[in-house]
Amino acid sequence: MTHHIPDEDYSSGSNFDYSSYRDRHRVVTQTPEQKLLNDLQEQLDSVKNKSGTKHEHKTNVLQTAINVLQGKETPEDLVQAKQDNPRYNEALFSSKTEKLVDKVLEMMPPTSGHRLK
Tens of pLDDT, residue by residue over 30-75, are: 889 999 999 999 999 999 899 999 999 999 999 999 999 999 999 9
Q: Which of 86, 95, 84, 40 is nearest to 62 (CA)?
A: 40
Q: Which tens digit of pLDDT belongs to each residue from 2-38?
A: 566 655 555 555 555 556 666 666 666 888 999 999 9
Q: Which of 107, 18, 97 is nearest to 54 (CA)?
A: 97
* DSSP type of residue 55: H
Helix, strand, coil shares, percent, the chain, to 5: 55, 0, 45
Q: What is the pLDDT of residue 9?
A: 55
Return the ∠ at Cα 55 (arms to 78 and 97), rounded to 5°: 50
Q: How far apart are CA 88 and CA 108, in angstroms?
A: 20
Neighbours of 47 (CB within 10 A): 17
pLDDT tier at 93, thresholds 50, 70, 90: confident
CB 76 within 8 A of CB 108: no
Phi, psi (degrees; rounded to nearest 5) at 108: -130, 75
pTM, whole model, 2 decimals? 0.70
